[in-house]
Structure 1
């Protein structure tokens, strides 16, 4: 039988050993670049280390904008066509940007040393877009931080209020995420997409990606009405049907897409003037039918290996548009666009899971053609959150990769201005607190160096949103400005970010106008 005194003595020895271990053991032992072992220390047990979250009250005061979905609709009701036209014409008149206040340095657009002219091409396009009666285009690339038209939609609204334009710009043929608020899309199951990014990327497939980093194709279906299907056999077949050696479109079943404004689509997002299709069909001709409000346009399109843009002019207010395709082989469909004829278009192009290093996978000549035909004047690149979880002491590899992407874009479109938006703050939980990842600032610095080296502008979102430990302040704000993953902004937070970016751009623009 063990005496109680011996048990107490053994427990005392154990406590002494543990006290010595915790005293001499470092608070963190790094096992690999991404894995570490944390231990208790006397300080962590008895001394509470208070983490101070960033104060963002000035941000919400300076940049808070009302939600356009909660405002009375500026556009006329769909049936009042004359009033809608008049409103659009009036809204497209150029007005002076309302950014008269001087912003703090942390909100400013940053430029390479002795090269503050890198955005002049875009600023000149803004000055001349309306008088020249042209449509200029802004491409906003990013990771999941902008998915669903977050950040982009509010920036689009602000720019179109100042410089005219309407619609939501470029969209994929098939909406894979289904998160866009202002547009609903439906597509037949025959469609498939090929991506230049993400886990589905396949380097063995043709690299003829569109400006959205994707291309869409469908599996043609032939209907052999002259053959009666037997039990268990479908009346649809992949056998070819020809008439006089040519493909008989009448025997093909259509493969369709549908676009329709959602109930949340208001104002300029509904004021669509034309629908564009960017495509290439080297394999075979195809028949296209476009239907809206009972009006159908049919067009037979010859085979061509070059980039083409088909434009459908809307004769009525934007309602459900159905596009039907018939062909022996599918064309490559790069993008659709819902635009105005003049003003500015701002396109939301999310690369989910990307770190912004996949542009070199695209065909340079095809990308060059698309940027030229779309009259792109400004490209915004907003990446970084997907590289944050990879903890390392040196991000020179990422700097070089990002620089290569920027150099590619500059080589195919030297006249296009480029802005790199730095990584936003991200937090991880340590004990009871949420703290910024230790590599946020090194990633931000690598992005800035790459931008300046390539002759591009840079906007520091990390500093603009409050710097170190600012993400918890956004998450715990009322109402919340970021989600509880401590990575992505809520719609209200996205609206703040877009307003900060818009005012930073307009401040830089006004500085140029004063010179």
Structure 2
């Protein structure tokens, strides 16, 4: 890291405690993203009912994303205002301590789950892969009515040199479809069209010599918005660098996201041996890799939310409990990268109310945060997701008027 960069980081670090005391709505700040005005035009056309397009938003993150409470609060409001284009991209199977706000996943038979936070292997976008034994199947039960024409896309690959079979999918209307088998050990997509039928389930079944599953995407053939929540509990931002470069390129070029949201930093804040120069470099590399893979997409970076620890090392900032020792540096680097790489940025801690806010959230009635002083309650995530939506919409309204 250059000395000038370190000087900027130091200056920002000194300012953060003062900035975090400001209450009220934290603005989404545009530091010069070259593609955000395209997003504003898409939203305006959808809002006027003049577009048949889909605004695709993908959020990558840690447990705050993996729980899909924060993201669903944002998704629900976006889809109510601009149209519902379907469930979108979901994690390929149930992962312990994670959930989807949109579907319930049930898995029968034997499945081998791989997660990128622990195993730097051949991972798809999102960092989760599932390999079933023959005869295993997955039920995907929507939590909300799913009606009308749909496209279901499945990303998979051969798990070895042995030829794998395809997948069979039973649509909610009862129709059965066959998916093409992957041709290699690279991640490939196959898709089918069908129809939804209220809240009936999808069933995905493995044939003989099953392929490894790396992504499921359920899109309505209708204009509107999708918000894909691809989080991994315990993940740090560097998990993105473990996704296979070819998969990142192929899957994002296929999905054509209009907005990418990165929401990491909590686990970095609790890192017992932080390397801030490595973190800066990894975050910068991830952003640039995403830019290359999705050159049409705007990128929004969410700063790490406030957190605290009841025991162990930390920084005393006038609260009952200390904040994690690395939190301030992590937030500072995130903001610096947003400035240098010309991203959008939202200060989650500022939206919460500042340095001691997670402790106030935990003491609220009803509680807005858990007693671990890291994770939020469902009400807390709903509040934060709503705050993020309001901040995003305010910038949209200003951007729309300026065009």
Give TM-score, length-normalised by structure 2.
0.82
Match of 2:239 among 358, 376, 379: 358
Structure 1 SS opposite 2:153: strand
2:37 pairs with 1:120:
yes
**2: CA distance, partners of 1:401 / 1:193:** 26
Equivalent residue number for residue 104 of structure 2? 184
Match of 1:168 among 82, 87, 92: 87
Equivalent residue number for residue 278 of structure 1? 154
**1: CA distance, partners of 2:293 / 2:33:** 22
2:128 pairs with 1:214:
yes
Equivalent residue number for residue 249 of structure 1? none
Equivalent residue number for residue 279 of structure 2? 398
Equivalent residue number for residue 333 of structure 1? 213
Task: Please give the residue correspondences for 1:38-437 in structure 2 after superposition, counting only pairs within 5 Å.
Answer: 107-112=26-31, 115=32, 117-128=34-45, 131-177=50-96, 179-197=99-117, 199=118, 201=119, 203=120, 205=121, 207=122, 209-220=123-134, 254-261=135-142, 265-266=143-144, 270-271=146-147, 273-282=149-158, 283-284=162-163, 286-292=165-171, 295-299=174-178, 301-305=180-184, 307-327=188-208, 329-341=209-221, 342-390=223-271, 395-429=276-310, 433-437=320-324
Q: How far 1:414 moved relative to its partner?
A: 1.7
**2: CA distance, partners of 1:294 / 1:394:** 52
**2: CA distance, partners of 1:285 / 1:116:** 42
The count of residues paired between Structure 1 and Structure 2 equals 368
Closer, same or farther: CA 354–389 of 1 in aligned 2, 3 Å: same
Q: How far 1:480 moved relative to its partner?
A: 0.7
Contact 2:72 2:101 in 1 (8 A): no
**Residues 236-257 of structure 1, C-alpha deviation per residue, up to 9 Å, x if partnerless?**
xxxxxxxxxxxxxxxxxx3311
**2: CA distance, partners of 1:425 / 1:110:** 19
2:394 pairs with 1:507:
yes
2:335 pairs with 1:448:
yes
Closer, same or farther: CA 312–256 of 1 in aligned 2, 3 Å: farther
Contact 2:35 2:296 in 1 (8 A): no
Give TM-score, length-normalised by structure 1.
0.65
Closer, same or farther: CA 334–127 of 1 in aligned 2, 3 Å: farther
Structure 2 SS opposite 1:149: coil
**1: CA distance, partners of 2:155 / 2:66:** 23
Equivalent residue number for residue 369 of structure 2? 482
Equivalent residue number for residue 100 of structure 1? none
**2: CA distance, partners of 1:132 / 1:311:** 24
**1: CA distance, partners of 2:361 / 2:179:** 53
**Residues 348-375 of structure 1, C-alpha deviation per residue, up to 9 Å, x if partnerless?**
1112111111212222232222112223
Q: Which consecutive residues of structure 2, in runs of 5 or more, have no partner in the other structure?
A: 1-19
**1: CA distance, partners of 2:241 / 2:21:** 40
Equivalent residue number for residue 20 of structure 1? none
**2: CA distance, partners of 1:289 / 1:439:** 47
Q: How far 1:486 moved relative to its partner?
A: 0.5
Q: Which consecutive residues of structure 1, in runs of 5 or more, have no partner in the other structure?
A: 1-53, 60-102, 221-253
Larger Rg over CA atoms: 1
Contact 2:269 2:324 in 1 (8 A): yes
**1: CA distance, partners of 2:170 / 2:274:** 56
**1: CA distance, partners of 2:230 / 2:172:** 29
Contact 1:55 1:473 in 2 (8 A): no
Q: How far 1:131 moved relative to its partner?
A: 3.5
RMSD in angstroms over aligned alpha carbons?
A: 2.7
Q: How far 1:315 moved relative to its partner?
A: 4.7
Closer, same or farther: CA 428–410 of 1 in aligned 2, 3 Å: same
